[in-house]
Amino acid sequence: MPDVGFLEEMLRIPSLSGREETLARFLVDRMEQVGMMATLDDAGNVVGIGGDPEADRTILLLGHMDTVPGRIPVRREAGRLYGRGAVDAKGPLAAFILATARITGSIKGIRVMVIGAVEEEANGRGAHYLRRSLAPPDTVIIGEPSGWEGITLGYKGLLRMMYRWESPVAHGASDHQTPAEKAVEYWDVLRRKASHVNQGRIGQFDRITPSLRGLRTESDGIHAWAEMDIVLRLPLDMPPARVKEFLVARVPDETIAFPYAEPAYRASKHTAVVRAFLRSIRASSGRPRFKLKTGTSDMNVVGPVWNCPMIAYGPGDSDLDHTPNEHIEIAEFERSVNVLENALQLLAESRILAHVENHR
């Protein structure tokens, strides 16, 4: 199947978080057409098996099928392919499938499992299911945009926080503090606390960064209340439990809840998978570079539990994630497929060499 044509077909199938079934069945069909074994697991994840299915070493290519909302007309224009998910993260998932299809039946030594997970953009439900149900693979490659020359080693942690303050309604001319004022006051306190924690920390990856995502005020005529949605991005040395300790309610009418959290994760760069990608990128005349991301991915979910060699890789500029201008450079997408194919071949060869050395 034509490389970019396959991705374009994927982009034309809407797959918002929780509504990935149509795309999932399309991918099962396409994987089977190119010689891979494919099915859906109990969470709705697409699971494809390629490479050497009988090998005793498993490399997991973990991407995700879902996208954030926002319709972007799918089109090719000036060497670019536009569409929701082109970068985050149908582009990387398509590259995974294409590269695996190329090597299936022609290499020995590695079993390649390609998974398109559900609900990565919401709560990571697909990855949480895999974390519980799969034995730790030998190596994991997460499908997220890094640019075809980039190798991502880590992601910041995440803490989602819900704030609410309620009080009896007071006359507008009184000096009674309104719920909106109380919420803004709490937000200011939180920002000052974060600023204090960040003293002496230079890079964004090492800083705690709060973001106010929503502020709502309502009244039923008797009571009035304010609610805030807050997201905090966390560094490696600040797990969610530690951050929760200084985000306590200050007065009885304040309530704070934490609906979702994931710790930061950073993988080692001294692994076979990193070496394979360095060689593969250079073989395509690229200049490899390591990256640390200030967002989160399914690496945060599976990394601390599986604790195996891991990177994130995929075509696309992550600055275009979730934007109305989301697109991918077609040439970059095609280069990334070549890099992935070559890296998988190198990993298979390294496995065979290691096997020979162990039996001398």
Enzyme catalytic residues: 66, 120
- Among 119, 99, 137, smallest CA distance to 313 is for 99
Extract the tokens encoding 27: 């991918």
Extract the tokens encoding 93: 């998932």
Q: How far is Cα 216 from Cα 47, in angstroms, rounded to an integer?
A: 41
Residue at token pair 């949605």:
229
Extract the tokens encoding 173: 């001319």
**9 phi-psi bin (left φ>0, alpha ψ -120 to 50, beta other):** alpha
- Among 85, 108, 82, 110, smallest CA distance to 95 is for 85
Q: How far is Cα 127 from Cα 112, in angstroms, rounded to an integer?
A: 17
- Among 287, 8, 25, smallest CA distance to 147 is for 287
Contact (Cβ atoms closer than 8 angstroms) between residue 296 and residue 155: yes
Extract the tokens encoding 181: 């004022």
Contact (Cβ atoms closer than 8 angstroms) between residue 120 and residue 296: no
- Among 136, 61, 55, smallest CA distance to 101 is for 61
